[in-house]
Amino acid sequence: MESEQTVLITGASTGIGLAMARALTQTKYRVYLTARQESLTRFDVHAIGESENVRIRPLDVTNAAEREAIVAEADRDWGGVDILINNAGVSYRAVVEHVDEHERLAQMDVNFRSPMELIRLVLPGMRAKRAGRIITVSSVGGMMAMPTMAAYSASKFALEGAHEALWYEVRPWGIRVSLVQPGFVRSDGFQKVRYTPKSGRSENELAEPYHEHYVNMTPFIAKVMKSSRATPESIARVVLKTMRRTRPPLRVPATFDAFGFSLLRRILPRNTYHWLLYKMLPRVDTWGPSTSRRSLPPSSDGER
């Protein structure tokens, strides 16, 4: 029953997380809404406050002490976390050459290491109950990668692999694991991506080798997001539906394009799939002096 289950959601103050917060506070679940300390005022702006079944807590997912404190409080007061929704995430826009080790680790810390640490903390309680739900908001970027988003896709690919292993590991205890995969969503999310010093300079300076990558990909992504029919609210509905399914699947495409890309990966030979996506990149014939006014044909090495 909803009234007997505790939900912990990360990154609940904006975007998809905020949409889930609004939806969850209208249910009978006991809910922990968490966000970084400096973001907590957003709940007031959206008239979301604490109640008997709703607690708002600061949580920087990269902070081990804060992760441990929130799970300990849930264990003490509400019998533990029954449903963990890993939603917090960040995105860096940079080609591989423009991401140094510090920036790469920062991306992985938020999107991969921290949700896996939260999962590790809640699993003992779920195993003891022989029940539980772990739902992580992944991305279409976890099934396919785009240029200038290498570190982001790496973090989501890592999430996908770890959750697939987890699905097998905890199934004997009745714990259900699901990855919700949004594609392009109509929101201002594209404005919140982070640039590295090198990627920011490359986008702004014409003489930079990767300049065309950035100046074409940035408006392309913005245009696709603005034209998408998917919204944070529609993704939130998919998450809630997944929470309530008796046997939720491991992977849940949450938008039409996520379903479409998943289908393409299954039906097309791998070399054809990558060639097709390359041809779809905006003005790709202008990218780099070695590829100017040329296109790449499908390889003939038999790769599938």
Q: Is the dihedral of CA 67, 73, 74, 79 positive or negative?
A: positive
138 is catalytic: yes
Helix axes 211-227, 197-204, angle to 10 degrees: 90
Helix axes 114-129, 64-78, angle to 10 degrees: 20
What is the spatial distance between Cα 267 and Cα 272, in angstroms, rounded to a whole number?
10
What is the spatial distance between Cα 258 and Cα 141, in angstroms, rounded to a whole number?
9
Torsion of Cα atoms, 242 then 244 then 237 then 78, to 10°: -110
Q: Which of 39, 139, 156, 273 is catalytic?
A: 156
What is the spatial distance between Cα 217 and Cα 183, in angstroms, rounded to a whole number?
16
What is the spatial distance between Cα 17 and Cα 9, in angstroms, rounded to a whole number?
8
What is the spatial distance between Cα 297 and Cα 247, in angstroms, rounded to a whole number?
43
What is the spatial distance between Cα 286 and Cα 284, in angstroms, rounded to a whole number?
5
Indicate the pairing of strand 251-253 with strand 175-181: parallel
| Residue whose pair of structure tokens reads 């529609």 in the numeric block | 234
What is the spatial distance between Cα 284 and Cα 125, in angstroms, rounded to a whole number?
51
178 is catalytic: no
What is the spatial distance between Cα 127 and Cα 107, in angstroms, rounded to a whole number?
30
Neighbouring-strand partners of residue 117: none
156 is catalytic: yes
Q: Which of 32, 152, 214, 273 is catalytic?
A: 152
Reported as half-sphere exposure (CB side, CA atoms, 13 A), residue 92 has a value of 31
199 is catalytic: no
Q: Which of 91, 114, 138, 153 is catalytic?
A: 138
Q: Which of 117, 122, 116 is nearest to 163 (CA)?
A: 116
Query: Which residues are identified as catalytic?
Result: 13, 138, 152, 156
